[in-house]
Structure 1
Amino acid sequence: MSSTRSRILETARRLIIEQGPRVSMADVARAAGISRQALYLHFGSRASLLVTVVRDMDEQDGIRTRCEKALTGEEPLEAFRAFLRVWLRYAATIHPVASVLLASRRDDADAAAAWKDRMDELHRGFLAAARRLEAAGRLRPGLAADVAANLAWAMTSVSVWEQLTADRGMRAGDVEEHLIDAVTATLTGDPSPQPVRT
């Protein structure tokens, strides 16, 4: 990746956190010290820029590789718990940008495109994990893999993480453990194999 492109992405990420996703292409160009024309040469639209910002965050963190590695664990339930742990720790990392996109996605098509792009990929990971649990006979009776994936995805969303940490004052580590146990119990019907932390 060119130094100019990297600078644009870093600048856009900072401005999103500071000003919200309604940051304009002109704002980004000015802050990055380039012309609007040069910005449009790198990113043909504002939506393209926002999607690339969140994809770049994922690539820098290596979240896709780490999620895939977690899901290759030999025992399906433990692999699922490992996958949840990787995702929830990353949710804490991306929270500043993700919460801004989440809050604005209903009335900002570009923010919605960036949010949907990343959440669709995350959901595919949850679906792969749920199908593996289903194949191993670990889902509770009557729960289909696609419904299980939807439930797990929603229960561990950035908005839930934010409500528990920011609104309820829970520590991030406690949120992680409680959500992993709650999601596992919801999908399998089994009590948590881990001690509950207070």
Structure 2
Amino acid sequence: MSKNSTLTRDRIIQAALQLLSSGAGSAVRLSDVAKKAGVSRQAIYLHFKSRADVLIAATKALDDKLDMDARLRASRTAKTGRARLEAFVAMWCAYLPQIYCVARPLLDMAPKDAEASAAWAQRMVDLREGCEAAVLALDNDGDLSPHLDPETATDLLWTILSVNTWENLVLIREWSQEDYEERMVDTARRLLTSDT
């Protein structure tokens, strides 16, 4: 790919991210992206197969910008299972409002677009793996609730950390983001650890 081609592709991705971040969400059209990027709609199709492809590229660009590896460091280096659980839940809860601008349009497209569906499914696999690592750390410390096996505990944690749960509590029920984060960490601790 030539330097000009790479620059154009990057401009398209940044334009899509700006439009998505502005709150346009699922209403963002390729013609809007083209106009914002200062390219023709035809130019978009030279770099991307579809609207879903643009959205997936924007999602990956946002992930890179938000540096997931750095965000996960506290969880991955925690000394105890409880500390790992709390760090992971806190990180994910703080991350959700930052990725919501791309998560919701991807979720909206998933039922009708195989590529968007696959991209969303992979994100959910990644989230579940993070939940599983936190649960296994608890289990290894002997701190997992005796009423739960690791697989069930992982499923429960994965479910309560969903985008839909964040939407229901923060957007619909109007919890503050701070309350949401504190209550989710507390809920995960109470649900999954052995002393409750």
Alignment TM-score, normalising by the size of structure 1: 0.82
Q: Partner of 1:49 in structure 2?
A: 54
CA distance in structure 1 between the aligned counterparts of 2:70 and 2:64, rounded to whole angstroms: 9
Query: 1:116 aligned to 121, 128, 138, which one?
Result: 121
1:147 and 2:182 equivalent? no
Query: 2:45 aligned to 40, 63, 69, which one?
Result: 40
Higher relative contact order (CA 8 A, sep 6+): 2
Residue type of the alignment partner of 1:143: L
Distance 1:41 1:69, change over 3 A: farther
Q: Secondary structure in 2 aligned to 1:173? A: helix
Distance 1:182 1:19, change over 3 A: same
Aligned-residue sequence identity (percent) comes to 37
| Ranges in structure 1 where 5+ consecutive residues have no aligned partner | 192-198
Contact 1:21 1:100 survives alignment (8 Å): yes
Residue-pair matches, total: 191
Shift of 1:89: 0.4
Contact 1:126 1:153 survives alignment (8 Å): yes
Shift of 1:85: 0.7
Contact 2:111 2:117 survives alignment (8 Å): yes
Q: Partner of 1:125 in structure 2?
A: 130
Q: Partner of 1:194 in structure 2?
A: none
Query: 1:67 aligned to 68, 72, 76, which one?
Result: 72
More helix by share: 2
Alignment TM-score, normalising by the size of structure 2: 0.82
| Ranges in structure 2 where 5+ consecutive residues have no aligned partner | none
Query: 2:103 aligned to 98, 102, 112, which one?
Result: 98
Contact 2:144 2:192 survives alignment (8 Å): yes
Q: Partner of 2:180 in structure 1?
A: 175
